[in-house]
């Protein structure tokens, strides 16, 4: 009998050890995925569509093999970039099997030709404020603890400045969609770069820190604005840029100069976002939890520090919050939670049919109205 007990004990212990090893191995693997997809810089604007037909005011597109872009078959306004030109495309006219016909609203540079490949994006405008929107601007620099960074300055006619912070693996042109609205409101706009952007200073590990360190670059940009005549700041953040804005609000001595905040698809809790994306890949919560523990040890992630919902009670500034109801990268539930926690400050605009940072593309008129109304209500002198 004692021998049977020993055998069963050995079997159970072996099974438990095997399960533990399996969880550890799976967690280690997913922590590597987290590092690659979450912390490392990776910008890919390689072609994702091919031009199959071109008319004077319309174009027919087909997805390139292996493309995972969902924009081709999503209604709304999108951009099409190729090496020597750019076009703004309107809502779908027709879908014929794998082929999608869209109108060409505006175009820049050399014309499209049949057989050409291009990148379909959500920026909707090319290059810079002058080329895209006929807005005068200047290239300026500001100095942070990490080094000297570039920015666009679109001058306004009031002492209120907007500082715009792009998302992870994105760039400044993503704000070309809203710069005209800010200009009509009289705001100067400072569209900044920050650590790990192409050609900009970067920390030795080259990792994104989801606001834990990048807020210092936003603080330096805010100081630049204040030194050049700003009295009130409107902070605008998309995706991880929103995390940077939130971290600034919680940590910067300049936070009291913010009169308003605009967040689009905000990454408000890095841990919840990792969990959300893991579930989307079919990874069970116990494994993703192990992966997060390992990532904290391996890559120095402080999960509490990048949970901006945890301290939402400290917010004291009006917030305009956009989030697409079909966001596949950042859980809408975190924006829901911010609104539920601070309904006194947050104006929430969930957008049906919109994916990540695509609320403007899906309904630009509604987005613009919401932004105009919010800006008009801010307590500027």
Tens digit of pLDDT for each residue in 19-38? Answer: 555 555 666 767 787 888 88
The answer to whether residue 6 scores a pLDDT higher than 70 is no
Residue 153's pLDDT is 99
Q: Are 309 and 271 in contact (CB under 8 A)?
A: no
320's tokens: 């305009």
Residue 17's pLDDT is 54
Average pLDDT over the chain, rounded to an integer: 92
pLDDT above 90: percentage of residues in the chain: 81
List Cα–Cα distances, 373 to 50, 181, 185, 367, in angstroms: 39, 11, 10, 10
Confidence of residue 42 (pLDDT cuts 50, 70, 90): confident
Q: Which of 44-48, 305-309, 340-344, 370-374 has the lowest mean pLDDT?
A: 44-48
The answer to whether residue 265 scores a pLDDT higher than 90 is yes
Residue 11's pLDDT is 60
List Cα–Cα distances, 358 to 53, 61, 100, 264, 332, in angstroms: 26, 20, 19, 9, 13
Strand partners, 77: none
Confidence of residue 379 (pLDDT cuts 50, 70, 90): confident
Residues 6 or more apart from 7 whose CB is under 8 A from it?
none
Residue 23's pLDDT is 58
Phi-psi region of 12 (alpha: psi -120 to 50; beta: other; left: phi over 0): alpha
Tens digits of residue pLDDT in 57-107: 999 999 998 777 778 889 999 999 999 999 999 999 999 888 999 999 999
* CA 71, 73, 74, 77 torsion-angle sign: positive
């Amino acid at each position: 009998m004692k021998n049977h007990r020993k055998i069963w004990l050995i079997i159970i212990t072996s099974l438990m050890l095997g399960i533990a090893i399996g969880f550890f191995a799976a967690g280690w693997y997913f922590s590597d995925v987290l590092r690659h997809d979450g912390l490392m810089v990776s910008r890919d604007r390689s072609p994702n569509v091919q031009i199959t037909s071109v008319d004077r005011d319309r174009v027919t597109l087909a997805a390139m093999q292996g493309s995972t872009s969902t924009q081709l078959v999503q209604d709304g306004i999108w951009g099409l970039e190729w090496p020597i030109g750019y076009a703004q495309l309107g809502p779908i006219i027709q879908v014929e099997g794998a082929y999608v016909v869209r109108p060409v609203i505006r175009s820049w540079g050399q014309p499209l030709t049949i057989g050409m490949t291009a990148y379909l994006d959500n920026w909707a405008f090319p290059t810079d404020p002058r080329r895209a929107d006929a807005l005068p601007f200047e290239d300026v620099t500001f100095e942070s603890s990490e080094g000297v960074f570039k920015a666009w300055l679109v001058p306004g006619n009031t002492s209120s400045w907007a500082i715009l912070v792009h998302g992870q693996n994105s760039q400044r042109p993503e704000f070309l969609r809203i710069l005209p609205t800010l200009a009509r409101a009289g705001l100067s706009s400072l569209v900044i770069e920050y650590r790990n952007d192409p050609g900009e200073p970067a920390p030795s590990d080259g990792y994104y820190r989801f606001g834990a360190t990048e807020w210092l670059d936003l603080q330096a940009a805010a100081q630049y604005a204040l030194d050049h005549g700003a009295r009130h700041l409107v902070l605008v953040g998309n995706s991880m840029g929103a995390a940077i804005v939130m971290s600034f609000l919680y940590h910067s001595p300049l936070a009291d100069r913010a009169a308003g905040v605009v967040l689009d698809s905000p990454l408000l809790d890095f841990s919840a976002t990792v969990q959300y994306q893991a579930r989307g890949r079919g990874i069970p919560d116990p494994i993703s939890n192990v992966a997060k523990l390992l990532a904290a040890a391996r890559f120095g992630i402080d999960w509490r520090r990048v949970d901006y919902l945890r301290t939402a009670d400290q917010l004291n500034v009006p917030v305009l919050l956009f989030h697409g109801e079909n966001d596949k990268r950042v859980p809408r539930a975190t924006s829901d939670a911010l609104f539920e926690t601070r309904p006194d400050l947050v104006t929430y605009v969930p957008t049906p049919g919109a994916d990540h940072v695509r609320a403007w593309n899906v309904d630009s008129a509604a987005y613009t109205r919401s932004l105009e109304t919010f800006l008009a209500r801010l307590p500027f002198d």
